[in-house]
Structure 1
């Protein structure tokens, strides 16, 4: 009996493998994790995972068909089992994960019939790292299902390779590592895809105060981050002075943000959030727009002390900090302005899996 047959027999008894991975808020330095800046100058990012997840269910099937489903996008397809599935724009992330697992861990000899179902608690283009988190969550489910020898670093690096190399999607490196590790992390990015994740031990009182101040505002616009990121990369490659200078400022803000969090200096955290957003707007056209600027104006007028768009920009979620005494006023003003608002909790756990 082959190893796969043994695994499949065990799965038929145990049920299905499930996994989840957390989405993240970019606090500072986002964009410096993108090539060529990270390769030339070295990047630094400060981020934190939140209580929004992408879930995956993975189950064996009889026969020769692969079932792929995205519940939140309301897309379900069936494709014949193959060692390499072709990409056609429909659930290509699902297909790319399947392809790499078959190629790298199953030797390409036996492509299993599976049902892969995913569900995201954030809309596509949210700026919370949903695409990369989806890939990490699917890989975590595969790790559980096939008992793959993948550490957090392995998981994140493989997810990065799938998105950037196999699918050719422009983007950075922070999202995959945030989803794999979870928590407050200061991340360093260097040439040759070298990444160092530094988990921070933030005091519980600081976390509680940050949660009390944090408001998420959805602009109502879902955007394709790859377009903005590709422009950022072109600007750096061409040596566009202001874009490169803005990247340097973003990296400096990430370092300052890390120090402020460790020193319980929340006024500096707010200052770095604002200065980081000011620098980010200089990196490429389309990072800000009328909807984002209007939300910023509404929140600031109601008492918010800091704000920045999470992710590449152009839409998605804006993270605001507002003193607890002004929290209700800021929420009310944004809602009356036609924006959807949410509160949030920070999490310490990265990608995880279990049997159901």
Structure 2
């Protein structure tokens, strides 16, 4: 256990933010036991939607957590451990882990405010990104000796181990590193992040072709992930073969992306979505299929759900001259569609 010697002064104000991500290919192969048995591979990219945190050292003997986007506030006495009770448990879990591992068990009076550009269950990794953002704020406030891999792994431990929330590993690493990344997932929680150097014209062409659509329905990813896990654990061959296909498409899409072969990228994206649907029944439904078909009839040549599936955000690739037509077709289903832009920067924090 590392105990920090840096104690921020009362009144210290730190802000942090981390980007949300699109899962381009390989989603689900980062979840145990698949990645432990077969090695997972994921291609993702961060976008210009963020989670935010403001950490203020108050010294008033209280701990206050505020989720500004949910209009929710909880207040506690400054104790070394705050038991999860269903009220802003992500905030409590971050505080608990930081105090136990880095502050020698000494409680801290503080106010932690957070917000996100996407709701939980969006498919953009919002919950994990929020945890990364809060961890990054504590790293800055207490000058903790944590690099990118450390922050991402700590966020994973907090969410998956401390709170027992179902999910994979890609979201924490995407939010921490930022940009286009090809990630490899091995047994014993070992992760390798390979940042990709994408040419500017390729990024511009992708941004000009991309449509991000929010279905208006958030979903509980844990149920979908539990189905995938069960299929792998039971040895269901069709699901395991689908996961293998997802991994292959991630590798193929990486090459197409680096070469700037947009048509091939679209074909790989579509093949990955078809394989994703075969990995668990709850990933798609009749409404998602109808939205997908309408986008294609309007000119999109590829698309998929972002994240576990079942709801949240979808994204589509279309010739730039067809993008507005695709947006109009998507919005006829009652959701919201818009252009989407990439970011190259991961989690960051600064003092005010």
**Common fold, TM-score beyond 0.5?**
yes
Alignment match of 2:23 (pick from 21, 26, 30): 26
Q: CA deviation at 1:263?
A: 1.1
Alignment match of 1:289 (pick from 278, 285, 289): 285
* 1:240 and 2:228 are equivalent in the alignment: no
The CA distance in 1 between the partners of 2:38 and 2:268, in whole Å, is 20
* CA pair 104-6 structure 1, distance change in 2 beyond 3 A: closer
* 1:298 and 2:281 are equivalent in the alignment: no
What is the TM-score when the length of structure 2 is the normalising length? 0.97
Aligned residue in 1 for 2:13: 16
* CA pair 6-353 structure 1, distance change in 2 beyond 3 A: closer
Moved over 2 A (4+): 3-9
Q: CA deviation at 1:8?
A: 3.0
Aligned residue in 1 for 2:310: 314
* 1:189 and 2:194 are equivalent in the alignment: no
Structure 1 gaps of 5+ residues are: none
The CA distance in 2 between the partners of 1:325 and 1:56, in whole Å, is 38
* CA pair 250-6 structure 1, distance change in 2 beyond 3 A: closer
Aligned residue in 2 for 1:134: 130
The CA distance in 1 between the partners of 2:5 and 2:202, in whole Å, is 50
Alignment match of 1:123 (pick from 119, 124, 140): 119
Structure 2 gaps of 5+ residues are: none
Which deviations, in whole Å up to 9, do the C-alpha atoms of 1:215-244 show, x marking residues without a partner? 011111100111111111111011011110
* 1:260 and 2:256 are equivalent in the alignment: yes
Task: Give the alignment of 1:329-348 within 5 angstroms.
Answer: 329-348=325-344
The CA distance in 2 between the partners of 1:88 and 1:326, in whole Å, is 48
The CA distance in 1 between the partners of 2:348 and 2:76, in whole Å, is 28
Alignment match of 1:103 (pick from 97, 100, 104): 100
Q: In angstroms, what is the RMSD of aligned CA positions?
A: 1.2
The CA distance in 1 between the partners of 2:128 and 2:307, in whole Å, is 12
* 1:75 and 2:72 are equivalent in the alignment: yes
Q: CA deviation at 1:88?
A: 0.7
Question: How many residues are matched?
Answer: 350
Contact in 2 for aligned 1:96/1:162 (Cα 8 Å):
yes
Q: CA deviation at 1:334?
A: 1.2
- Secondary structure of 2:54 counterpart: strand
Deviates more, 1:293-302 or 1:208-217: 293-302
Aligned residue in 2 for 1:92: 89
Q: CA deviation at 1:64?
A: 1.8
* CA pair 103-40 structure 1, distance change in 2 beyond 3 A: same
